[in-house]
């Protein structure tokens, strides 16, 4: 049974408190928070102050995905804002091993995200240091995109790497996750499903989360 992490990027920001309550009361496991700087990705989202405000009302794990350049400058601030899991992009981290160590030293779980064009073998030397591998199944920056099918192969390859090395890393998939493809994603080896539009554009978001929770059965 996968962990479900609704993506706040797709929430209604005029009614954010309501949407947070919905997630609190649903079968969702995590809040997925996308932080974008307009440089690493062609979009800007929200930062520490919004996350800190949300944390006052939210009751579940904060899964913070940094789509920013020089993420290492802000680790302590995101910890202070309430991040429980902090994910950096391989493509934005010149000293990835050092970043993973720094995130863990602050008491957070450390994740690494791969863009669609980045092969999974780049993680071979750090896979045992990673708590979460985030496979982007769309090009990062915007919600509502279509799932890139090659992501399933990447999930399988990361799973093989995790098993071979004894890593404890979870595999998370973000982008274009729907009720139609959730089974295939979980069966490929994913442990965490990020869903934005699928949840928040549904007539009954909590029921949609419940259905996603059954994926792979």
102-149 confidence digits (pLDDT tens): 999 999 999 999 999 999 999 999 999 999 999 999 987 666 678 999
For the chain, which domains are there? Answer: 3-213 (3.20.20.70)
Q: Are strands 132-136 and 109-114 parallel, antiparallel or unpaired?
A: parallel
Reading the block at residue 118, the tokens are 């980045």
Alpha-helical runs (H) found in 108-196: 151-165, 182-188
Average pLDDT, the chain: 95
pLDDT number for residue 116: 94
Reading the block at residue 159, the tokens are 């799973």
Q: CA-CA distance, 92 to 68, in Å (whole number)?
A: 7
pLDDT number for residue 141: 67
Q: What are the percentages of helix, strand and coil residues in the chain, rounded to 5?
A: 40, 20, 35
pLDDT number for residue 143: 65
Average of pLDDT values for 159-171? Answer: 98
Q: How confident is the model at residue 171 (pLDDT cuts 50, 70, 90)?
A: very high
- The continuous run of DSSP H or E covering 102 comes out as helix 96-105
Number of helices followed by number of strands (H, E) in the chain:
8, 8
Over the stretch 12-35, which tens digit does the pLDDT of each residue have? 999 999 999 999 999 999 999 999
- From residue 41, how far is each of 35, 69, 89, 93, 152 by CA, in Å? 10, 9, 11, 14, 23
Determine contact, residues 60/28, Cβ cutoff 8 Å: yes
Question: What SS3 state is found at 190?
Answer: coil
List 37's β-bridge partners, or say none: 44
pLDDT number for residue 140: 75
Q: Which of 29, 37, 174, 191 is catalytic?
A: 174
Average of pLDDT values for 191-210? Answer: 97
Q: Which of 19, 29, 34, 191 is catalytic?
A: 34
Sheet containing strand 170-174, edge to edge, reads 3-6, 192-195, 170-174, 132-136, 109-114, 85-89, 61-67, 30-36
Average of pLDDT values for 72-94? Answer: 97
pLDDT number for residue 211: 97
Q: Is the confidence at residue 6, as pLDDT, over 70?
A: yes
Q: CA-CA distance, 210 to 28, in Å (whole number)?
A: 8
pLDDT number for residue 42: 84
Q: How confident is the model at residue 43 (pLDDT cuts 50, 70, 90)?
A: confident
> Would residue 37 show up in a list of annotated catalytic residues for this protein?
no
> Would residue 12 show up in a list of annotated catalytic residues for this protein?
no
Average of pLDDT values for 200-217? Answer: 96
Q: Are strands 61-67 and 85-89 parallel, antiparallel or unpaired?
A: parallel
Task: Name every residue whose Cβ is closer than 8 Å to that of residue 163 and which is 6 or more positions away in sequence.
Answer: none
pLDDT number for residue 142: 65
Q: Is the confidence at residue 217, as pLDDT, over 90?
A: no
């Amino acid at each position: 049974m996968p962990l479900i992490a609704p993506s706040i990027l797709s929430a209604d920001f005029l009614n954010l408190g309501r949407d947070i309550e919905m997630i609190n009361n649903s079968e969702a496991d995590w809040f997925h928070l996308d932080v974008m700087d307009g440089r690493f990705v062609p979009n800007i989202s929200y930062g520490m102050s919004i996350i800190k405000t949300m944390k006052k009302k939210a009751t579940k794990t904060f899964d913070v995905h940094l789509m920013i350049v020089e993420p290492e400058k802000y680790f302590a601030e995101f910890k202070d804002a309430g991040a429980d899991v902090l994910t950096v992009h391989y493509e934005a981290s010149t000293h990835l091993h050092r970043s993973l160590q720094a995130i863990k030293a602050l008491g957070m779980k450390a994740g690494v995200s791969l863009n669609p064009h980045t092969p999974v073998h780049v993680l071979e030397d750090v896979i045992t240091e990673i708590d979460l591998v985030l496979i982007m199944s769309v090009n990062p920056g915007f919600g509502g995109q279509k799932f890139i099918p090659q992501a399933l192969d990447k999930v399988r390859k990361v799973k093989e790497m995790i098993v071979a090395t004894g890593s404890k890393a979870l595999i998370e998939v973000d982008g274009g996750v729907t009720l139609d493809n959730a089974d295939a994603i979980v069966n490929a080896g994913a442990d965490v499903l990020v869903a934005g539009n699928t949840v928040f554009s549904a007539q009954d978001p909590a029921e949609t989360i419940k259905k996603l929770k059954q994926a792979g059965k």
